[in-house]
Structures are given as C-alpha cells and as structure tokens.
Amino acid sequence: MALARGYAATDASKPLQPFTFERREPREDDVVISIKYSGICHSDIHQARNEWGNSMFPMVPGHEIAGIVTAVGSKVSKFKVGDRVGVGCFVDSCTTCASRDVDLEQYMPGLVATYNGVEADGKTPTQGGYSDHIVVKEGYVLSIPEHLPFEATAPLLCAGITLYSPLRNWGAGPGKKVAIVGMGGLGHMGVKLAHAMGADVTVLSQSLSKKEDGLKLGADHYYATSDAETFKTLAGTFDLILCTVSAEIDWNAYLGLLKVDGTLVLLGVPEHPVPVHAFSLIPGRRSIAGSMIGSIKETQEMLDFCGEHNIVSEIELIRMDQVNEAYERVTKSDVRYRFVIDMATL
C-alpha cells in the first residue's frame, strides 16, 4: 500500500479539505500514474454535495485526470514509464457481460467508477483525481496525444467524451443541424467537437454573454433561451439537441425545436424529475434519450480525433486550495470553461 495525498469531501455540507488515504499495491496489470492535472466536472460537485443521494464519504472527487506513468506491472504492454496518460470516469468493469463485447462497458452494471464507487472486490472505496497519484488497470488508461497542451487535455476525459459519444451515435456531421444547450464545461466541448465533425452548430445559452466565445470556438449560431422569440424562430430546426444543463428546465420547449425524427439527448442531470408531455413527442416522431460518457475504445478514438483537430478544453488553471471557491463559481455558471487543478500545488 502507498499513501496518497488529496482533497476530500468528508460530508455533503462541508468544504473539501486535505486528506490522506491508501492506494492499492500495483498488480501485474496495473499502471501507476503521477497526477499532474485534474479537471473539475459538475458531477464532482453533485456527488461531493450528495445531490444524487448516492454519495459515500470521505470522497476524493475527480475523473478528468491527466498524468505521467511512474511504474507499470510486469504484464503491462501498452504503457511505459514517462508516458502521458489520461483516466476518465471508470477504472474497471466486469469481464463477462455482453456490453463489453460491443464496447459499451460504460453501461455495464459491473462498472467501477473512478471515485464514489467500490473496486471490483465489492468493498474497497475508489478515490479520484484530486490526489497525487492513482493506480489503474491497464485497460482503463488512455494515451494522450503528445502535441496537445497537457493541462487542457484533462477535461477531455469526461467533458470531451460525454459530448463526442452522442455526436457520433446520432450521426452529427455535414448537413446535420446540432444544438448544444448550456455553454459550460460539457457544452463548450460539444461546440468544438460538433464543429470539427462538420455539423452546423447552434448554442442555446441562458444569455448572449458568452456569444463571442461560442462563435470563436466553432458555433455557427448563438441564441439566448431567456428570449421567448428564440423558441419561435428555431421551432422545428434541429436534427439533434444535446442538453448539458443540470437545472430543471422545460424539456418540452426544447423538444419543439426538433425536426421530424429529431432527438433531444439528455446529458446534464437535474436533481428532480422533469415532466414531459406526450404531445411534445408525438407530432414530429421526436425522441428524448440519454447518454453517459463513452467506452474506453471510444474515449481513445475521441482523444485521437482531438489530436488530429488540435482540440482541447478552454481552461482556468487553479491551485488545489482554490477548489471550494471553484465549486461555488461552477454552480453560478461562472467558469470559462473548465477549472483544472494544477496538482503540483497540492
């Protein structure tokens, strides 16, 4: 066992604080990673504050990890000491079920979350990336393209893949009109990725305050959802709408923006259920769907795609002791566009 240092939530109402814990002794198929950068996803905040009701404390959040390999087990073949690697939202999964065969292991019941989960042994709590190092099975470690600025790649491991996967699954590309709801950590990655795939991209934000940025990042159009005219102007426009908002917004209004056979994909997770009327779906054969991160294979594909297109996240690099302040700012939508913790400041 090696001691790890990090920051943890000790219960839902307290700020994160310094915390020391044990990482497992590396096994023959494990990679030991010195964590250099850790992104702050809104999911970290939901879980640190027990907004989904499933939190286990103490909890070291963080599933957007970029680091350097410091040791490898005897059976590791894909990585060597010194490699730049990433770890996302899961670090293990069961080895038997069919989802794994079709590279959809993110939907497997035996998924082991990077934190707020338990290891494959069914009892040892997992702890995440707001820490100095992590031990991960080789199959759950990703290669980060060499030429991308390292600190800005950390958010690709969750925000990037969470948008890449539905964009690919619902066929975003030339001739397709895609809307991204919410210009936050996930949303701004959606703009960059959908633009690089060749889709016509619209941002639907609460206001026009980030319009200039949105257009610079690749949006073709930018509308404020606080303006009722937006919903009239854009009625029946989109093939695909990706909603990254975690507040309870009226999904019925957004369904009205879809073309016939269009799909609204939910990515953000509101704390309470949102009612949907059958008449929002029936005229127009519209669908409402959900999507969760992406498989390991797809995550590597996304990182390689980002390497080819020089896509990284827009980040604000912070010290570890600024994490609680960063949480407050994320909840107020005051981030452009992802906080990343410089783990050297731990």
Give the H/E segment covering residue 143. Answer: strand 142-143
List the structure tokens of 130: 């707001």
Q: Residues 35, 320, 330, 341: which binds ligand NAP (CB under 6 A)?
A: 330
CA distance 161 to 152: 14
Half-sphere exposure of 180 (CA within 13 A, CB side): 34
From the CB of 223, what's the least distance to ligand NAP, in Å? Answer: 11
From the CB of 92, what's the least distance to ligand NAP, in Å? Answer: 18
Q: Residues 6, 35, 43, 144: which binds Zn ion (CB under 5 A)?
A: 43
Q: Residue 134 carries which DSSP code?
A: E
From the CB of 324, what's the least distance to ligand NAP, in Å? Answer: 16
Name which of ligand NAP, Zn ion, none residue 182 binds, using a CB cut-off of 5 to 8 Å depending on partner kind: ligand NAP
Q: Residue 62 carries which DSSP code?
A: -
Between 8 and 183, whose beta carbon lies closer to ligand NAP? Answer: 183
From the CB of 239, what's the least distance to Zn ion, in Å? Answer: 25
From the CB of 287, what's the least distance to ligand NAP, in Å? Answer: 16
* 275 in Cβ contact with 259 (< 8 Å): no
Hey, how many other C-beta atoms are within 10 angstroms of the C-beta on 34? 13
In Å, what is the CA distance from 302 to each residue of 158, 164, 190, 218, 282?
11, 7, 12, 17, 34
CA distance 87 to 103: 17
Q: Does 180 bind Zn ion (CB under 5 A)?
A: no
Among the listed ranges 37-45, 145-153, 253-261, 303-311, the one in contact with ligand NAP (CB under 6 A) is 37-45
Name which of ligand NAP, Zn ion, none residue 295 binds, using a CB cut-off of 5 to 8 Å depending on partner kind: none
By beta carbon distance, the residue nearest ligand NAP is 184
Q: Residues 141, 293, 312, 341: which binds ligand NAP (CB under 6 A)?
A: 293
